[in-house]
Amino acid sequence: MQCLTAPTRREIDKAHAKSIWLEIGVHSVRNLLHVSPGKAVLWLALLVSTFPLHLLWNSAVFTTTNFNDYSGLVVTNDFLVSNSSLGIDCSEQAMDEYIQNDRSSYVVCWLHQHVQQNSTSMIKMTPEQCMTAYATGIEASNFNFLAVTKDATIKEQSKQFRPGNATLPVVAYFNTLNYTDLVDSWCRGLCHNWGNNP
């Protein structure tokens, strides 16, 4: 469209002869009155065809993806006990700090408090049901989860997977954003044990 409003040397000379100035090197609608009628008609055709394409269709037709940014913990049965030690400070002040810069510690404390205060609102699943529900990593229908294991042999193996300074009964931490990338390396040899020990 800018090229079509650019006048030729002849069109510039003709405009100057009438003491009319034209704009050079920029897209100027004003120049349309002084360029050939064919160029003006083609410019109008481009305007009419691109207006709905760029201004209406691009802004009106889109899809959205629901997203639940949930986290998960693999824990031992001790996590379900109210006075269990997590190795991290879960005071209100600490929680305010965690929510800003330490998501994994925040999730550990929040889930521990939730288990103690709202255990009846939690849904118990078999390992198979849990794996099916959370298989895709990112989706809209699931929320933070606890995977409780009875296997004592994983206690020492799991240190590298724990969030922050957390200790047992926290075995491992998962987040939706890194779930699909890390689950294979984190769980190689461990997920089978966790899944067989509900």
Average pLDDT value over all residues in the chain: 77
pLDDT at 127: 77
Q: Does one domain contain both 124 and 181?
A: yes
Same domain membership, residue 55 and residue 35: yes
| pLDDT tens-place string over residues 138-163 | 555 667 788 888 765 565 555 666 77
Residue whose C-alpha is closest to residue 87's, from 156, 191, 165:
165
Residues 85 and 129 in one domain: yes
65 within domain boundaries:
no
66 occurs within a structural domain: no
Among 60, 84, 107, the domain-final residue is 60
CA torsion, points 147, 151, 156, 158, in degrees to nearest 10? -20
Average pLDDT over residues 162-174: 75
Same domain, 106 and 160: yes
| CA atoms of 51 and 178, how far apart (whole Å) | 41
**Is the domain of 46 the same as that of 112?**
no
Residue 42 lies in a domain: yes
Look at residue 179 and tell me if it is in a domain.
Answer: yes
By residue range, what is the domain housing residue 174?
71-195
Q: Is the pLDDT of residue 193 over 80?
A: no
Distance (Å, whole) CA 90 – CA 111: 11
What's the pLDDT score for residue 41?
93
Claim to verify: residue 113 and residue 23 sit in the same structural domain: no
Name the domain count of the chain.
Answer: 2
Q: Residues 32-76: pLDDT tens digits?
A: 888 999 999 999 998 888 877 776 666 655 555 555 667 888 888
Boundary residue ending a domain (14, 38, 60):
60
Give yes or no: residues 99 and 188 share one domain: yes
Q: Are residues 41 and 104 in the same domain?
A: no
Residue 120 and residue 188 in one domain: yes
Would you say residue 88 lies in a domain? yes
Residues 50 and 30 in one domain: yes
83-109: pLDDT as tens digits: 778 888 888 888 888 888 888 888 888
* Co-location of 45 and 120 in the same domain: no
- List Cβ neighbours of 196 (8 Å cut-off, separation of 6 or more): 127, 151
Quick check: pTM over 0.85? no
Residue 196: per-residue pLDDT: 55
Is there a single domain that holds both residue 26 and residue 91? Answer: no
Give 72: exposed, middle or buried? Use CB within 10 Å, 0-12, 13-18, 19+: buried
